[in-house]
Amino acid sequence: MNPLYRRLGRLKSSLGFSLEALRGYPPNAVLLTSFPKSGNTWVRFIAANMARESMGRGPEVDFHTVSGYAPELQRDSVRRAIVPPRLPVLLKTHSPWRRVWKGQAVLLVIREPGDVMVSYHRYLEGEQGFELPPLARFVRSEEYGIPAWKAFHRSWIGHVTAVLSYESLVENTVPAVIRAWDLLGYPVPRGLAEVAVARSSKEVMRRLREERGDPCGRNPDFSFVRKGEVGESKRVLDEATRRYIREETAELVEFYRSLA
């Protein structure tokens, strides 16, 4: 994509964020933020299925309807969101923190940065069709790599209500969700969390995308919902690249994991 188009796209998104905030978010709105390929979509599906189950009605959650329950600030109007009475409405963004969000409740999802880089590189090439350098150079990219990852996470320091670790989500999904929602001030019955997690499994999400499609997808042959493997970067990246990532991200990783 042309760099000018990317800059114009970011400007348009920024204006959209500001307009939506000025119009007002629902009182139970929570910003769901993460660097790309950190588990944001998975969390949106879980939240959407909890909302639908708690209300006992609403469209079945898939890639077409999930934005009705958990809108993307870059794409969807918050005013059309389905608002459950006793649960948060998650508003998704991959943007760095903006002053217009001051005081807003925030759930940040963090994932091991090496795994993020591997997944993000694969996504940009396979789904978006970008021509990218090899991984060892990609991770040093100011726009997509570790410098961008650091800038994103630094921007949210002091503005986060709860942190959800992708690794804890993979290892023990239901307790991780319950803890995150507790920190947000929305206690969730275990039974409700279990139903939502079961309906949001990787297998279910993969089947839904294959059978019903994804309005945001550009390449039908690309597997957007993968295994979400923890530690994949240890197999894929060379030692020098892994060391660079560790040294550059250790402080931020330690800080956010202390909050998870």
* Token duo for residue 177: 């969700």
In a domain, 55, yes or no: yes
How far is 65 from 58, CA to CA, in rounded Å?
A: 10
In a domain, 200, yes or no: yes
**How many structural domains are present in the chain?**
1
What's the whole-model pTM score?
0.89
Considering only residues 17 and 154, tell me which one the structure prediction assigns the higher pLDDT: 154
In a domain, 9, yes or no: no
Q: Which domain holds residue 77?
A: 17-257
Please tell me the predicted confidence (pLDDT) of residue 23.
Answer: 66
Contact 30, 92 (CB under 8 A): no
In a domain, 5, yes or no: no
Mean pLDDT lowest for which of 69-73, 127-131, 172-176, 191-195? Answer: 127-131
Mean pLDDT lowest for which of 118-122, 199-203, 212-216? Answer: 212-216
Please tell me the predicted confidence (pLDDT) of residue 227.
Answer: 64
In a domain, 100, yes or no: yes
Write out pLDDT tens, residues 219-245: 665 655 556 678 899 999 999 999 999
In a domain, 1, yes or no: no
Write out pLDDT tens, residues 44-85: 999 999 999 999 999 999 999 999 999 998 777 788 889 898
Domain CATH number, residue 67? 3.40.50.300
In a domain, 31, yes or no: yes
SS3 state of residue 114:
helix
State which H helix or E strand residue 163 sits in. Answer: strand 162-165
In a domain, 6, yes or no: no
User: Cα–Cα–Cα angle for 85, 91, 97, nearest 5°?
Assistant: 135
